Amino acid sequence: MSAREPNISSGFWRRTTAMLIKEFIQLRRDRVSFAMIVMIPLMQLVLFGYAINTTPRDLPTAVLLQESSDLGRSILKALENTRYFKITHQVTDEAEFDRLIQSGNVLFGVEIPRGFERALRRGEKPALLVAADATDPVAAGSALGALNQVVRTALQNDRAVPDAGAPSFEIRQHARYNPAAETALNIVPGLVGTILTMTMLIFTALSVTREIERGTMESLLSMPITPIEIMLGKIVPYIIVGFVQAALIVGTGILLFGVPVLGSLWLLAALSTLFIATNLSVGYTFSTVAQNQLQAVQMSMMFFLPNILLSGFMFPFAGMPTWAQWIGEALPLTHYIRIVRAIMLKGSTLAELHYDAIALFFLMLVAMTIAVTRFRRTLD
């Protein structure tokens, strides 16, 4: 009995070691999985270390300066010196001022009314208007919080203003589209795009690899059907599934959280369908590249990670460095979050959303072209 125990023990460790070596060899041969092991932590480190900034700076700002004065220029200079604001537009009428904020081209608007300096000298306590796009309350909150002291410093340092203990002006802050800074109004529209991205990518990323692993691809290839017909046949059912998901999320947001839909539901439905088709095309491309379902899921997660971090869903898009914003512009979720927030909270029209709609359509065409090309190679 005791003589057999060492043999049993040595056999156990020999078999376990052989299995261990086999797994390492298999992992080395699976280049996609090995790349994910290396790339995912590196990507997270780079994005969280360099791209993510919870205190955004250089936020695009429009200025309606109704009179040219030294005091007005002092206020604008003080605003820019805070690094919170970056004046990108100077307008001359209120219509253009409002249009820039509603379109999302700027996050803030500062209006210095006519006769502001004269009223200040007379001690009439004039008002300075600051309008903020509060659809992203994180980006707007920190800048608005620092505004009072900044402008007060600018006025006190100006020679035209008498040195007084009490402030000789009034700042009127107007947080548009989400005046109460409710988190649900920001999160729920973003969740529509985030959930659709995750589910649509995974559904279609498994489509071709599942056919190969089950052995049904041979039967599919024997049919008189073209690659584009196969792709459309696999994508269209999931477009319907994605549309049902989007309707469920939006409906729940309206009923439980009171999220408004100020714009056209038809426009939201049409652009949501475009976004779903874009993600399905990307997922289908992954399914033609991956050799098995595990690789397809890994590729989907690799694509999903920068989408959720660089789209403006979790962190303010305007606070990211330029290189991160360029990457974000190449991601479908970035454009869709702008679209769904603008339609639901601002009541925006297609004319105001044409840039993001065109970007989504272009990304869909690129993904579909790559998917069809890759699928033809798979057939060969």
With respect to residue 2, please indicate whether it lies within any of the assigned structural domains: no
Strand order in the sheet with 127-133: 85-91, 59-65, 108-112, 127-133, 170-176
195 and 167 co-located in one domain: no
301 lies in a domain?
Answer: yes
User: Which two structure tokens, joined as six digits, stand for 161?
Assistant: 């203003």
Q: Tell me the sheet residues that pair with 58.
A: none
CA atoms within 13 A on the CB side of 316: 24
Distant-in-sequence, close-in-space partners of 106: CB < 8 Å, separation ≥ 6: 60, 61, 62, 88, 89, 100, 133
Judge if 157 and 219 occupy the same domain.
no
Q: What is the pLDDT along the chain (380 residues), one digit of tens a residue?
A: 455 556 666 676 777 777 777 777 766 776 666 666 677 677 777 776 766 766 777 888 888 887 777 777 777 887 777 778 888 888 888 888 888 888 888 888 888 888 887 887 777 778 788 888 888 777 777 777 767 666 666 655 555 455 545 556 777 888 888 877 788 888 888 899 999 998 888 888 887 777 777 766 667 666 777 767 777 777 888 888 888 888 998 999 889 888 888 999 999 999 999 999 999 889 888 888 887 788 888 888 889 988 988 888 888 887 788 888 899 999 999 999 999 999 999 988 998 899 999 999 999 999 888 888 876 555 55
DSSP class of 107: S
CATH code of the domain containing 141: 3.40.1710.10
Question: CB pairs under 8 A, 24+ apart, for 327-334?
Answer: 329/359, 330/363, 331/306, 331/307, 332/197, 332/275, 332/278, 332/279, 332/282, 332/307, 332/360, 332/363, 333/193, 333/194, 333/197, 333/307, 333/308, 334/307, 334/310
Number of structural domains (the chain) is 2
Domain that holds residue 267: 183-379
**Which of 176, 208, 225 lies at the terminal end of a domain, its last residue?**
176
User: Does residue 171 lie in a domain region?
Assistant: yes
Query: What token pair was written down for 342?
Result: 């603008």
In the structure encoding, which two tokens stand for residue 187, read together?
A: 């999160």
The long-range contacts involving 91-95, CB below 8 angstroms and separated by at least 24 positions, are 91/62, 91/63, 91/64, 92/64, 93/64, 94/64
Task: Tell me how far apart the alpha carbons of residues 141 and 152 are, in angstroms, rounded to a whole number.
Answer: 18
Answer yes or no: is 335 within a domain: yes
Q: In this structure, is residue 50 part of a structural domain?
A: no
Dump pLDDT digits (tens) for 258-279: 888 899 999 999 999 999 999 9
Same-domain pairing of 143 and 209: no
Which one, of 372, 318, 331, 326, lies nearest residue 132 by Cα?
318
Classify the C-alpha dihedral 326-270-349-188 as positive or negative: negative
Looking at the structure, tell me whether residues 262 and 323 fall in a common domain: yes
Residues 112 and 233 in one domain: no
CA distance readout (Å), 318 to 111, 189, 334: 21, 18, 12
Give the span between the Cα atoms of 284 and 371, in whole angstroms.
6
Q: Using one digit for the tens of pLDDT, what is the confidence trace for 187-241? A: 888 899 999 998 888 888 887 777 777 766 667 666 777 767 777 777 888 888 8
Please give the Cα distance from 185 to 18 (Å, whole number): 56
Both 171 and 195 in one domain: the answer is no
Q: Is 213 in the same domain as 147?
A: no
Q: Does 110 lie in the same domain as 234?
A: no
In a domain, 147, yes or no: yes
Helix axes 293-310, 322-329, angle to 10 degrees: 130
Domain end point (choices 118, 143, 176): 176
Give yes or no: residues 198 and 170 share one domain. no
134, 161, 176: which is the final residue of a domain? 176
Same domain flag for 129 and 196: no
d(CA 282, CA 198): 11
Residue 168 and residue 189 share a domain: no
Give dist(CA 298, CA 354) in Å, integer.
33
Inside any domain, residue 244 = yes
Q: Judge if 255 and 370 occupy the same domain.
A: yes
CB 150 within 8 A of CB 79: yes
Residues facing 89 on adjacent strands:
62
Q: Quick check: is 4 in a domain? A: no
